[in-house]
Structure 1
Amino acid sequence: MKLHYTNTNNKNKPYIPSHTPTNTSRVLSECDVQTSFYDNDPDMKSVKENFDRQTSQRFEEYEERLMKNRKKCKEHCDKDIQKIILKDKMEKSLAEKVEIGCLKCGCGLGGVAAGVGIIGAVAVKEWTKAALLAAEKEALVEGTAEATKAGFDFGIQYIITEIKNQLKIYSIASSPLDKVITAETLNNPKQLIESLNIQYTDLCVTNGYKLEESLCSMAGEDHLQAISFIDRHINNIVGYAKQSADAHTSKITSETILKLTETKNAAVESTSVTCNTAIIASVVAILIIVLVMVITYLILRYRRKKKMKKKQQYTKLLKE
Structure 2
Amino acid sequence: MKVHCYNILLFSLLLHRLLLSSSKVNIEMNHHNTPHIKNREPTKSYKSLCECELYTYIYDDDPDMKEIMNDFDRKTSQRFEEYNERMNKNRQKCKEQCDRDIQNIILKDKIAKELKQQLTTLETNIDTHDIPTCVCEKSVADKVEKACLKCGYSLGGAVPELGLLCGNGAYELVQIAITAGVASAKKAAIEAGTQAGIQAAIQGLTNKLYIPTLNGQLLSAFINANNFKNPYFFSGPIIGEYIDMSRVGIDKLNGILRFIHDQFSGDLGKIMESISATSSDIAKEAGQVAERVTAETTEVLTVQKTAEATSASAIFSNPIKKKNE
Q: Which of 1 and 2 has greater Rg?
A: 1
If the length of structure 2 is used for normalisation, what is the TM-score? Answer: 0.45
If the length of structure 1 is used for normalisation, what is the TM-score? Answer: 0.45
The higher relative CO (CA closer than 8 Å, separation ≥ 6) is in: 1
